[in-house]
Structures are given as structure tokens and as C-alpha cells.
Amino acid sequence: MEVQALLPNLFRTEYQKIVSVLCYLFGIQHIEIAEDIVSDTFLSATEDWSLKGVPQNPTAWLYTVAKNKTKNYLKRNTLFEQKLAPEIRYTAPKTEDIEIDLSTKNIADSQLAMIFTVCNPSISYESQISLALNLLCGFGVQEIADAFLTNKEVVYKRIKRAKEKLKEEDIKIEQPTVSQITDRLETVLTTLYLLFSEGYYSASQDTPLRKDLCAEAMRLTYLLVENQMTNKPAVNALLALMCFHSSRFDARTNDSGEMILYQDQDETRWNSELIEQGKYYLNRASTGNELTKYHLEAGIAYWHTHKEDSEEKWENILQLYNHLILLAYSPIAAMNRTFALAKTSGKEVAIIEAEKLNLTDNHFYYSLLGNLYSGLDNKKAYAHYQAALALARSPGDKATIRGGMKLISKTPYV
């Protein structure tokens, strides 16, 4: 594999692992040192691999170089050795004896500790999520801005303020207590949900689906499921949701990378193993009395793994959406509900509900109206598709919209 293709994937999957281990070792006060060492490791990989080729085990190469760079830093930096080394969470008396533990277990422990450290109530909710997406998930500032529907400057300031606040409060990076898990788990799950959502539909990239982001979100959620203290029903519900959505990935795009609408997907390309895993985690999520939005969205995703257009299927989806918008309202959930309403009550009823939303800055809204008006008033349908096309940014979205317009233009109504 070429360096240009491999390194971005490795950066996404390995950067935050090494940073977490070094932060766990150094403490939150020295987060920039950890980030600099790991960034320098990837810079070395870019230079070395471009000249000598990709090593047989690229991940092991990165880990070895990161360890050496860390040890070299500790040896040559007098300030660190004299003033900062005593703060390191390590029992070795001499810096040269420090072992940088990049084992699977220590990475998992470090990332779990980092997740709950970053999601600290001393910093604002938006800043917690921004820092977690940046530090733990490898999100760029632009990707975070897209996830929050804001601009890069706002996100940059949030991340900077979050780091400064954690340092001011002298927050320790340690395994979370029961009370910390109770207080912070919602923010942790929101972060992982946003990471998966950005992969499921990438607003910041030309490609509509980024499987690497989804895989990373699932890996981090699995860490929570595997830990006895964080293995909660909501966590299992979120992992079930991810499994159900991931099961249809191979059917969601064509060879040109364009989106394939749900009704046109080839269900033989759905991953039955992931569907079964989703059922397993959804069953595990059914314990206890708490109902979260992840339970409801997982239920909706479960019914979407049934391709048949049955009355039972769409009635169940509609009722789940009804509960969802009462529990955790969002314009997108309300908009998606109208599609299920069209299936159960007809397009005319759905149009009335959809137009109440008035989401005039969202191309999905106009695409939905284009779909609902198709066959009823094709002139209006075509106009809505045109509005959607004007708002859409990605080539894939534009191709999907043009497909809807093409179907309408074949009729005599336009």
C-alpha cells in the first residue's frame, strides 16, 4: 500500500492510542508534549517510508519509534528531568529505566481513563466533546466544526479552553470511579455517537461514507462494553445501533462512490454477522429501567435490517420515532419520522407534517419533500429537488438528487 493511502488511516487509528498512553504517563499538564512526540513520530514515518518503503508491520514501527522518541525526550530535556519527571505516573527512579507500555491492555486502560478525564464537568459540554473528538478520536478541527454545525475558529477556541481548564484544575488521568461514570457517561456516549455519525455520513469530506471513523467509534464503544464498570445498557444500545448501521455499509454506495437509497439497496450485500451482533447487544441493553435515545435509534436501525415493506415494520419505526422526538427532539429525527409517516398514513399526511418543520437550510429536507410530492405534484417535487441541489455540497448528494429529478422529468407533468 502506498504511503499516501496508508498513513491517514494509521493516523486515525493509532495517533490517539499513543497520545493517550503518553498522557496517562505524563499527566494532563503535559498534553502538548505527548501530542508533539506522536506528531513527530508520524512525520518520521512519512519521511522514512517515502524513501525506504512501508515496513512489514507499520503499527509496530510507529510504536517503536514513539517509544524511542519519548525516551530520548526524557533524557535530553533537563527541565523535564528536573521539574516534571517527578510528576510522571510511573515508579521507575530513573528516566532511562522508564518503559513506554503500548500493550493492548495499557492502551485500553489509558483510553478509558482519557475518555472520562476529557469529559470532565469543569469544562463546558461542547468543549468536552470537541476535545474528546480531537484528542481521542483524531478528528480535525474542520470535521468537529461540521459535526457541531459551526466554524473552525469556535472549535479551536473550545479545544484550547478545555485544555487550559483541565490544567488549571490539575485533573488527574486515572481510571474513573463509579460516580464519575454516572456523571460523565452521557457525554462520553455523545462523543462516540458523533464520531460514528461523521463516518456514517461525512459532511466534511467528498465521500459519503467513511468506514474508518465508524470502525474507530465501534472500537471505543466496545472498550466501554468490555469494562465491567462501564458496561451499561445505554452503552450496549449504542453499540447495537452501530452494528445495525454498519451491516448495510457495503450496500449503501455504488462503484462510483455514490449513495444508494435504502429502497434500492441489495440486501444480499448486508452483513448478517453484524446484524446478529446488533441483536445481541440490543438484548443486553434491555436490562434496567432507563430508556435512552440510543435504545430507540437502535430499534429503528433494527427494523431497517428488514427489507420487506410490511405494515408492521413501518408502524414500529413510526412509533419508535414518536418516542424519540418526545425523549430527545431533534429536527433531523422529526424529518426522518415523516418518511415513516408516509409509509403508514400516506404522502399527503406526511407532507403536512414535513412542511411544518421548515428546515429551509437543509438539503435533506428539500429532498424529502421532492420524494413526498413525486406522483402527487411533480412540478412541486421538481422545484424541491432543485432547492436541494442548490444546498447540497458533496458530489454524492448531488448525484442522488439528480437521480430523483431524472425520474420526475420522464413524466409529462413537468
All structural domains of the chain with their residue ranges: 1-89, 103-170+178-231
| List of residues 6+ apart from 80 with CB closer than 8 A | 33, 73, 74
Helix (H) / strand (E) containing 152: helix 152-168
How far is it between the farthest Cα atoms of the chain? Answer: 84
- The whole-number average pLDDT for the span 79-94 is 52
- The whole-number average pLDDT for the span 224-228 is 93
CB 333 within 8 A of CB 272: no
Q: 259 in helix, strand or coil?
A: strand
Tally Cβ neighbours within 10 Å of residue 361: 9
- The whole-number average pLDDT for the span 232-247 is 97
pLDDT digits (tens, 9 = 90+) for 38-59: 999 999 999 999 999 999 999 9
Write down the pLDDT at residue 208. Answer: 54
pLDDT digits (tens, 9 = 90+) for 109-148: 999 999 899 888 888 888 888 888 888 877 888 888 876 7
Q: Which of 33, 104, 103 is nearest to 70 (CA)?
A: 33
